[in-house]
Amino acid sequence: MRDDFGSLMRRRRSVRAYLDRPVARESIEEILRLARMAPSGANLQPGTFHVLTGAPLGDLVARLDAALAEGLPETAEYSYFPEPMPAPLRARQRAAGYALYRALGIGRRDVEGRRRQFRRNYAFFGAPVGIVVTIDRNMGKGCFMDLGMSLMALLLAAEARGLGATGIGALANYAPTVHRFLDLPEEEMVVCGVALGWPDPGAAENAVRTEREDLPAYASFRGF
């Protein structure tokens, strides 16, 4: 069991290219049930998952594309990254971006190529399933941590079934567009999206692996 979990964690990655192959609703339902098994303070179980495929997903992607084409300003409902970004974290962010662009053959000075690739966030990277994740805006900040644990459980449950997924934090940049499209209650805040589907094994971007810090950089031990 220990080896199985280690293998699952090590092979999980962000999938940004998918096969044109549907995902059974039964599989998605089981993945979401497992995601809900994640711990949460006082068992509040914060977060809601709005699952789209087929025409509804296509309509949302079209709506987002129109918002981008019209030049609508980004509207972030919460702060995702530190502002300003500290230099060490900026370097890590750039390294991850360069690794992706290098795999896709997009040069550092190819601003338009990088822009096109980033816009794929709003098309859920062509995945057959798009999930919009929301949270009640009246929840405390700690509930975002609980929702994050649920999202990690979702990603691992998908990976265990041979599916691929990636979180899409950029979706929150156009939260009003998503909110109107889904006709969400006022109290629901758009947190992120998730692309879900069968990974394209031949896609260069799916071979990208980001590095992780070594243990001494982020952990300390006392009394051992």
| DSSP calls for 20-80 | S----HHHHHHHHHHHTTS--GGG----EEEEEEHHHHHHHHHHHHHHHHTTPPPB-SS--
pLDDT digits (tens, 9 = 90+) for 166-197: 999 999 999 999 999 999 999 999 999 999 99
Long-range contacts of 86-94 (CB under 8 A, 24+ apart): none
Please report the DSSP string for 152-219 in residue order.
HHHHHHHHHTT-EEEEEGGGGGBHHHHHHHHT--TTEEEEEEEEEE-B-TT-GGGG-------GGGT-
The pTM (predicted TM-score) of the whole model is: 0.96
Per cent of the chain over pLDDT 70 is 99
Please report, to the nearest 10 degrees, the dihedral formed by the alpha carbons of residues 34, 37, 196, 117 taken in order. Answer: -160
User: What is the reported pLDDT for 76?
Assistant: 80
All domains in the chain, ordered by first residue: 12-81+123-203 (3.40.109.10)
Is the pLDDT at 3 greater than 80? The verdict is no
Per cent of the chain over pLDDT 90 is 96
Report, as an integer, the average pLDDT of 108-129.
96
Report, as an integer, the average pLDDT of 212-223.
96
pLDDT digits (tens, 9 = 90+) for 28-76: 999 999 999 999 999 999 999 999 999 999 999 999 999 999 999 998 8
The sign of the dihedral angle between the CA atoms of 172, 177, 178, 184 is positive
